[in-house]
Chain A
Amino acid sequence: MSARIEWRVATLAEFRNETATARTLLLDVPGWPGHLAGQHVDVRLTDADGYSTQRSYSLGAPADGERVELTVQKVPGGEVSEYLTDVYSIGDPIELRGPVGGWFVWHPSRTAPVLLVAGGSGIVPLMAMVRARRQARSRAPFRLIYSVRSPADQYFSSELRRSAVDDSGLDVTTVYTRSAPPGATREPGRIGGADLERYGWPPQFEPTCFVCGPTGFVEKVANTLVGLGHDPRRIRTERFGPTGG
């Protein structure tokens, strides 16, 4: 890795709408050095007057050559996210630097059980881990618990449904907090100890736990995991603050 990280110009190659307010951007980044699942990038926008602003976004997939994937949740009034989800078009440039972050990462060489707990758009770096596992044909046992408000708020829905069937050793559970689809056995409600116990791993399995989501969600899940007997040293967290706009 070079000593100094530099801003690169990325261009939008393709996009996919995940929900009514979230868009996945597929960006071509000449010279992209590759990255690990869980790492993120900083994105910088500069207007004609020279005013610039930047945000961090998690990479949602393993690198595909010089192509990287971000998923942006539109935050009402968020100057960067509104631009990236509504205005930013195929062929347009943005500045991007990364990959950065070496703590909230999963290495495909690891074989220990993994528990992934996502709150809302916190699914993005965890999806990168699910995809990296599949790409590496890893046999590490994975369980993903994905907490979302309603089915309409779910990212990567069809791929996660397929992965839950096709990726051997991956269990996917969606926990709905406001409204569940017809036929769901669990009443809608916030994630709790019973969910983490039922759909996660027993602490005796010594799983590595990755928790990503809004700050309040991450605090609650991490504390609950510790309360269930998980070693805090095996819990890795990533929180969104108020500046995700």
Chain B
Amino acid sequence: MTQDYQDGNALAGPLAELFAVDVTAATGRCVSCGDTGRVADLRVYGHELGWVARCPSCDHVMLRLVRSPDAAWLDLQGTLSLRVPLPPS
């Protein structure tokens, strides 16, 4: 792959529109290779209207986010699980 990507930190704003917790600090498991890593470390392509986030180990698409004026469309079929750190209750 070329190096024309950002990382998952760039998704913090767009995902904060949808979720109350910071999803970039969550640990995701890739459907394709089974590797786990922080959402912040995914390789992110595109911006503003649509993002594609790929697994840094195998390049499989783990997350897609499309923002239209009145909706957000989130595709997580490449993510097997997300472990979200929470403050102790």
A residues contacting the other copy or chain, number (CB 8 A): 30
Whether A5 is near chain B, meaning CB under 8 Å from some CB there, is yes
User: Is A30 among interface residues, defined by CB-CB distance under 8 A?
Assistant: no
Query: Does A134 lie at the interface of the complex (its beta carbon under 8 Å from any beta carbon of B)?
Result: no
A1 touches B20 (CB 8 A): yes
Q: Least Cβ distance of A98 to chain B in Å?
A: 7
Q: Bound state CA distance, A54 and B5, in angstroms?
A: 17
Known pairs A241-B5, A241-B6; A56 contacts B13 (CB<8 A): yes
Cβ contact within 8 Å between B22 and A102: yes
Query: Which residue of chain B has the shortest Cβ distance to A39 in the bound complex?
Result: B12
Could you mark each residue 213-241 of chain A with 1 if its beta carbon is under 8 Å from any beta carbon of chain B, else 0? Answer: 00110110000000000000000111111
- A101-B24 contact in complex given A4-B17, A241-B44, A243-B47, C-beta closer than 8 Å: yes
Known: A40-B13, A100-B12, A102-B12. 5 other contacts (CB 8 A): A54-B13, A56-B13, A98-B13, A238-B40, A239-B5
Residues of A within 8 A of B (CB): 1-5, 40-42, 53-54, 56, 97-98, 100-104, 215-216, 218-219, 236-243
Q: Which residues does B use to contact A, with CB under 8 Å?
A: 3-10, 12-13, 16-17, 20, 22, 24-25, 38-41, 44-45, 47-48
